[in-house]
């Protein structure tokens, strides 16, 4: 499925947060484990999680929710163990990292917990009952096609990977495959953790090492903002930066015809909304819900940026 959502952000802390229903006998308890709001995308994730839980709780008062946010993969493992001690019936999880979260989620599944995995995925297939995410192969292909069109006669680009997760691997594999046979030269790839500070640091390193850089795939809008700042400080000209996720600030640049950022890839934090809604409906209506729910990741350009731009959205 494809859908367009309005992206909003909540400036949250890294501390553990929980929203739980009142003390009563619930028909089901849904545990939700997500990363803390450590950058814009996860800030939006936390905001939409809280808003969706509040709406679902109002609509279905006999369903309880426990939401925890984790600042690290190790904390998220502990949080899931705590959720299991609460006897949850379902787990909605967006993993901090794929590898360390696979076994605890697998253990929850073995105990009969309904598993919904959002976005980043696990390192082992077929654990989850429901998957909700963006079109990650399309995400990588869109980036590759952008650079092939941008530099038809050849160009030198650098790449910033995200966090070591299944979706990052999928994006990079699709990106590399789509570049095969082109005149685009990838100078280097480094992890920037979808983070503006790390993006700034990685871009500084690239600028020092490579006298010619025509383009940057930052992989994420937060990292792209860090890369842009490093480029501005270096006073290097003629470098195109492509991010991804659809941050309002970046879409505005695209819409206004910015020289450095003329495109973006859509991948919103609102992915969490259908995951929570579908799991809630499963227990509220006893409907047999499972499978994969995939939202499109189209390229955003000046021609269609207005469709993805929401002036009042902080993210």
pTM of the model: 0.79
Higher pLDDT, 4 or 54: 54
CATH class of the domain defined by 28-134+269-296? alpha beta
**By C-alpha distance, which of 41, 269, 244, 38 is closest to 133?**
269
**pLDDT reading at 9 higher than 60:** no
Give the C-alpha separation, 232 to 135, whole Å. 32
Predicted confidence at residue 17, as pLDDT, reads 36
> In 95-111, which positions are buried (b, 16+ CB within 10 angstroms) versus exposed (e)?
bbbbebbbebbeebbee
Residue 62's alpha-carbon distances to 24, 48, 50, 56, 244, in angstroms, are 8, 21, 18, 10, 38
Answer for the pair 242, 220: CB distance below 8 angstroms, yes or no. no
Please determine whether the domains at 28-134+269-296 and 136-265 fall in the same fold group of CATH: yes
Q: Please measure the distance between the N-terminal and C-terminal CA atoms of the chain and give it in whole angstroms.
A: 23
> Domain 136-265, CATH 3.30.420.10 — does that match?
no
Place of tokens 């849904």: 30
Structure confidence at residue 44 as a pLDDT band (50, 70, 90): confident
How does residue 99 score in pLDDT terms, banded at 50, 70 and 90?
very high
Nearest to 129 by CA among 267, 1, 275, 20: 275
Backbone angles phi, psi at 204, to 5 degrees: -60, -45
Distance between CA atoms of residues 213 and 185, nearest Å: 10
Lowest mean pLDDT among 122-136, 146-160, 246-260, 301-315: 301-315
Residue 284 in 3-state DSSP? helix
All structural domains of the chain with their residue ranges: 28-134+269-296, 136-265
Percent of the chain with pLDDT over 70: 91
pLDDT band at residue 265 using 50, 70 and 90 as cut-offs: very high
pLDDT-derived band at 120 (thresholds 50, 70, 90) equals: confident
């Amino acid at each position: 499925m494809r859908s367009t959502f309005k992206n909003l952000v909540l400036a949250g802390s890294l501390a553990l947060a929980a929203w739980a229903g009142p003390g009563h006998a619930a028909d089901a308890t849904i545990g939700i484990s997500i990363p803390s709001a450590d950058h814009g995308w996860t800030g939006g994730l936390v905001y939409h999680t809280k808003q969706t839980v509040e709406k679902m709780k109002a609509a279905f008062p006999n369903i309880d929710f426990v939401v925890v946010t984790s600042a690290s993969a190790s904390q998220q493992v502990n949080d899931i163990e705590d959720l299991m001690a609460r006897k949850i019936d379902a787990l909605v999880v967006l993993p901090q990292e794929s590898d360390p979260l696979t076994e605890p989620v697998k253990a929850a599944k073995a105990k009969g917990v309904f598993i919904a995995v959002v976005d980043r995925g696990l390192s082992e297939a077929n654990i989850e009952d429901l998957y909700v995410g963006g079109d990650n192969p399309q995400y990588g292909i869109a980036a590759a096609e952008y650079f092939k069109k941008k530099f038809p006669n050849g160009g030198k680009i650098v790449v910033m990977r995200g966090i070591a997760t299944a979706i990052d691997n999928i994006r990079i594999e699709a990106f590399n495959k789509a570049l095969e046979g082109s005149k685009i030269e990838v100078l280097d790839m480094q992890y920037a953790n979808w983070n503006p500070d790390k993006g700034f640091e990685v871009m500084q390193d690239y600028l020092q090492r490579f006298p010619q850089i025509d383009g940057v795939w930052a992989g994420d809008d937060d990292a792209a903002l860090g890369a842009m700042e490093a480029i501005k400080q270096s006073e290097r000209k003629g470098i195109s930066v492509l991010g991804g996720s659809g941050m309002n600030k970046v879409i505005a640049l695209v819409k206004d015809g910015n020289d450095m950022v003329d495109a973006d890839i859509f991948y919103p934090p609102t992915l969490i909304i259908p995951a929570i809604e579908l799991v809630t409906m499963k227990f509220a209506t006893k409907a047999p819900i499972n499978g994969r729910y995939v939202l499109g990741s189209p390229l955003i350009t000046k021609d269609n940026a207005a469709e993805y731009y929401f002036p009042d959205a902080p993210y």
